[in-house]
Structures are given as structure tokens and as C-alpha cells.
Amino acid sequence: EELRSRAVPPARHLIDGTSRDASDGATLDVISPIDGSTLTTIPKGTREDAQLAIRSARRAFDDGRWSDVAPAARKKIMLKWADLVEAEADELAVLGVRDNGTEIGMAYKAEPLSAAGTIRYFAEAIDKIYGEIAPTAPGALGLIHKQPVGVVGAIVPWNFPLMIGSWKLGPALAAGCTVVLKPAETASLTLIRLAELALEAGLPPGVLSVVTGEGIVVGAEIAESQDVDALVFTGSGATGRRLLEASARSNLKRVYLELGGKSPNIVFADAPDLAEAAKVSAAGIFRNSGQVCVAGSRLLVQREIHDKFVDLLVANAEAMQVGDPLDPRTQAGAVNSENQLAQNLQFVEEARTAGRTINTGGTRILHDTGGTYMAPTVITGVNPDDRVVCQEVFGPVLTVQVFDTEEEAVALANATEFGLAAGVWTSNLSRAHRMISKIKAGVVHVNTYGGADITVPLGGVKQSGNGHDKSLHAFDKYLDLKTAWIKL
Ligand code: ADP
């Protein structure tokens, strides 16, 4: 209760270990989606602010103040950081919810606790990264060293800032890189605090800087910089393309993108438990009001169970508690912004106009307290080329398509430019494995949806991106191979 109404002081960049305002003093208002009130301000960063942070990260990398520290000592600092994050989990969770609107039940686990877990996971790996000796012919010794790529620019979105931020920061810092982090305009507050805690834990100044502000200014400066060696990004496909272009125009920095999805969730008539499948599938699209990159937003249902399953799903959708994200009973909190809500409703209006059936939802939910809320929405009778079927809504909107055969399910599942996630519900083991191998996606959930932990990689294929967050494979983005060829 006290945390909920606590005044939030104006936020500041964290650059080279120092809190700073924008070089011209400009700020952006932070609007809480809970009630539309102004929570505080963040610096509206300038290109100079970004340059300052990049220069400090360059210096911090080149002088070895982090990468040359003994692995065991770096590990100790990162483990302490994880402890500090965990100790502040309540404050961070509530601050994050006030900033971005995710329901607290999900935010608490997915944000501070997951960030602490991620940092700890990668910290533990620091002194377990070995180089290799190549199986060369006699007379030569081939050594393969793993070296940090250098300065990393990390640009992250607003839906899960701490979770996604730590997916980048954990392995980047563990690898010995230095990082300039650019949070989203509508979710910067917790990431600034995360970086302050890193400093408190002993991370040397300049190793991690946070610059807030607009993507087209701060983000673009990072993307175009000659001094940034790798860009890691989670966000929209449109921005991803701009980052690749910026890399091509500047220094060919490595670009790793985790972009959108339109993930199929496929329910066969032989699913082990239809009631459970409907419950988990509803959560898989409606939690955090659909603002989840891996959300199962396209339901594909086998014809013989279609009507029954849609009924179950609609019942689950209508039973969802949508509202005050700080109420622990809430299952779907606020939509992040008025802008996002307007886009969601536009998708529904188009479907309605085209004669599709809105089985439930499709409307804004008005609360006395204001804020941006939307009813979980199920749309049936859609066509494969409807915009709502092809494009990522990033809201609580589920479309339902019917199929007869397994082949048809695969074809429908893959009829998308995206390839992030998928779900398959069946009790036929062979069919499950056939689907896993045929579906073009980075992750296939079987008889569940979502919830994959830190030990497995997350990344997209096709236009959902490249490279992986999470698991030891995440190091591939942050460690370069260097060969030493020695004549014996
Ligand atoms: P979303 O639709 O999730 O908001 P965006 O791609 O717009 O996705 O935003 C994700 C992140 O990318 C945010 O931090 C945003 O500020 C940043 N961003 C947006 N446009 C650009 C750009 N042109 N260059 C660099 N970063 C950008």
C-alpha cells in the first residue's frame, strides 16, 4: 500500500557511474497506465548524452577495468548484484507495475525475481567458460580463445523491462563486455534502478550506463555509433530493420534481434485435457493483456472440437480478472499506453467491419480510476489474410482458425512471416515430435504454453529475429572466437 502511492523522484540517466539529467535538461513525462496519472519524469536523452555513455563504455572496455578482472572476482560482484535486486524485489515490482501496467502477480516473478535469477545464472558461468584446443595435424597448435565482443548497445522494450534487460545484461557483462542500455520510453524506471544496484554491488563505473529517451534519438545514436561493437535488441520488426540499416551504414556492428511473433497455438482433438488446454491457452494470450512477445495469439483448433473449445476459451476469457495491476488477484493488468490501446481496438474494428465474429471482448474497459484496460477478445470466422491474423497485435486479442488434418495445421501454423513460438496440444507422442520438427519457430511448447525457464534458449526464426537470449547459448552474442595458430 505504501509502495503504491510513494512519490517517485524524477529519474536521471546513469552515465559513467554518475546520475545525470539530459544535456539540455529536457524531460519526458512518465504516465502510469493504471490511472493515467503522471508518475514522474525521465530525461529526454540527447545524442550527446548517448555519445557520452558510449565513450565511457568504450574507455571502460579498452582499459580492461572489467574484462581484465579475475573471473572469480567478477562473479562475486554479479552475485552480489543479484542479491541486491532480490532484496529490493517488492520495491522494484511495484515501481515497474506503476510504470508499465503489468499485473503484479506476473510482474513480481517475471521481473525482479527473474532478473535476479538471470544475473545469478550468468554470474555462475563466468568461471566456467573454457577456450578450446583444435585437433590440428602434428607440428601445429590451434588455440581457440573466447573474447568479449566489446561495447554492447542494448535496446529493450516496455513489456518486461527487467526480465528482458537482464537477458541482455547478464551474459554481456558476464562475458566481460561493457554496455550502454536504452530502455523504452514507457518503462525506464526499474532499469535505472537495476543499473544503480550494479554500481552498488561493485561494477566499475562506465561498465554499464543507462540513457533514457526516444528511440529515434538515443536508440538511433547507439545504432549508428562507430564505437559500439554489437547491438542487441528486443522490439518491433520496423525498428529491427532500422538497426540493421544503421549497422550497414556505420561500422557493420553485429545486430541481434528478438522481434515480434504471431505464434500459433494448435489444439488437436486428442489433447490430453481440453479444459486445461483452454485455461492455459487463455493465459498464454491474455496475461499481461497480450503484451508478451511469445503470446499464443493464433489459435488453431481441430474441427471436431472447435465449437466446444471456443466455448471453453470464451468462458476463460470472460472469467479473467482485468483491472488494477497492483491488486494481486488481477490476471490481466493495464494496456501500456493510450496509443497501444487504440491500435488494439483498431484491429478489432477492422475484423468487425469485415464481418468476423467477436465472440467476446473487443472493447475498452472503463474504470472510475481511469487507466487503459481492454477486455480479453476472441475472434472467430477469420480469413488467413486478415490483418488481425497476419500482424502482431500485442494486445489481448486471439483469433481462431479451424483445421482438419495435421498437414493443414502445419501449413496454417507456418503461414506467417514470423517464427517465434508455438504450442501443440496432443496425446499422440509421434505427432508431437512431427509437429516440433515441422513448425518453424524458436520454441515449441507441448501440452502447455509459455513458462520456459532460463536454462533454454529463446530466439526467433524468419522475421522474428536471430540470435538467442537465455541459456549458455546467449554467450554466442557476446563472445568472439579468436584463433591462435602456433608452429611447434
Ligand atoms: P514496441 O512496439 O515494443 O514499442 P519499438 O521497436 O518501437 O517496439 O521499441 C523498442 C525499443 O526500441 C524502445 O526502447 C524504443 O525506444 C527503441 N526504438 C524505437 N525506434 C528506434 C530507432 N529508430 N532506433 C533505435 N531504437 C529505437
Q: Please work out whether the CB of residue 261 comes within 6 Å of at least one atom of ligand 1.
A: no
Among 155, 125, 114, CA closest to 465: 155
Which residues of 190-343 form beta strands (DSSP E)? Answer: 208-210, 230-234, 254-258, 264-267, 298-302
CA-closest candidate to residue 179, choices 193, 162, 166, 163: 166
**Eight-state DSSP code of residue 337:** -
**Portion of the chain with pLDDT greater than 90, in percent:** 99
Ligand 1 centroid–CA 71 distance in Å is: 34
SS3 call for 35: coil
Ligand 1 neighbour 216 (Cβ under 6 A): yes
> CB of 235 closer than 6 A to ligand 1?
yes
Residue having the nearest C-alpha atom to atom 27 of ligand 1: 215
Q: Give the H or E element holding residue 144.
A: strand 140-148
Mean pLDDT of 211-237: 98
For ligand 1, atom 13, which residue shows the shortest CA distance? 184
* Gap between the Cα atoms of 376 and 319, Å rounded: 10
> Is a pLDDT exceeding 80 seen at residue 96?
yes
Sign of CA dihedral 193, 195, 196, 200: positive
402 Cβ below 6 A of ligand 1: no
Nearest to 230 by CA among 172, 153, 167: 153
User: Given pLDDT bands bounded at 50, 70 and 90, which one contains residue 206?
Assistant: very high
Record the cell numbers describing residue 124, joined without a space. 555462475
pLDDT tens profile 25-45: 999 999 999 999 999 999 999
The pLDDT of residue 369 is 86
Q: What is the pLDDT of residues 428-437, one digit of tens each?
A: 999 999 999 9
Ligand 1 pocket check for 242: Cβ under 6 Å: yes
Ligand 1 pocket check: which of 188, 189, 239, 344 to mutate, most ligand atoms within 8 Å of Cβ? 239
Write the pLDDT tens digit of every residue in 100-123. Answer: 999 999 999 999 999 999 999 999
Q: Residue 1: its pLDDT value, please?
A: 72
Average pLDDT over residues 202-219: 98
Residue 185 beta carbon below 6 angstroms from any ligand 1 atom: yes
341, 347 contact by CB (below 8 A): no
Of 273, 277, 224, the residue nearest 252 (C-alpha) = 224
pLDDT digits (tens, 9 = 90+) for 346-384: 999 999 999 999 999 999 999 888 999 999 999 999 999
- Catalytically active residues are 258
Rounded to the nearest angstrom, the distance between the alpha carbon of 182 and the centre of ligand 1 is: 9
Choose one of 28, 155, 212 to mutate for the ligand 1 pocket test, by most ligand atoms within 8 angstroms of C-beta. 155
For residue 2, pLDDT over 90 is answered with no
Q: Give the chain's length.
A: 488
Residue 181 has pLDDT above 90, yes or no: yes
Say if CB 43 and CB 22 are below 8 A apart.
yes
State residue 368's pLDDT score: 86
Residue nearest to atom 7 of ligand 1 (CA): 236
| 234-255: average pLDDT | 98
Binding site membership of 157 for ligand 1 (Cβ less than 6 Å) = yes
Q: Whose CA is nearest to atom 25 of ligand 1?
A: 219
pLDDT tens for each residue of 58-93: 999 999 999 999 999 999 999 999 999 999 999 999
Q: pTM for the complete prediction?
A: 0.98
Per-residue cell: 362: 473487443
Provide the strand spans (E) within 389-457. 397-403, 421-425, 443-446
What grid cell was written down for 138? 602434428
Positions of E strands within 185-234: 208-210, 230-234
Q: Which of 2-6, 54-58, 263-267, 403-407 has the lowest mean pLDDT?
A: 2-6
On average, the pLDDT of the chain sits at 97
User: What number is the ipTM of this complex?
Assistant: 0.98
For ligand 1, say whether the CB of 339 is within 6 Å of any of its atoms.
no
pLDDT digits (tens, 9 = 90+) for 138-165: 999 999 999 999 999 999 999 999 999 9
> At how many degrees (to 10) do helices 161-175 and 89-100 cross?
120
What pLDDT was estimated at residue 273? 97
Name residues whose C-beta falls within 8 Å of residue 241's C-beta, 6 or more positions apart in sequence. none
Question: What mean pLDDT comes out for the span 411-416?
Answer: 98
Does residue 132 register a pLDDT over 90? yes
The CA distance from 303 to 237, in Å, is 33
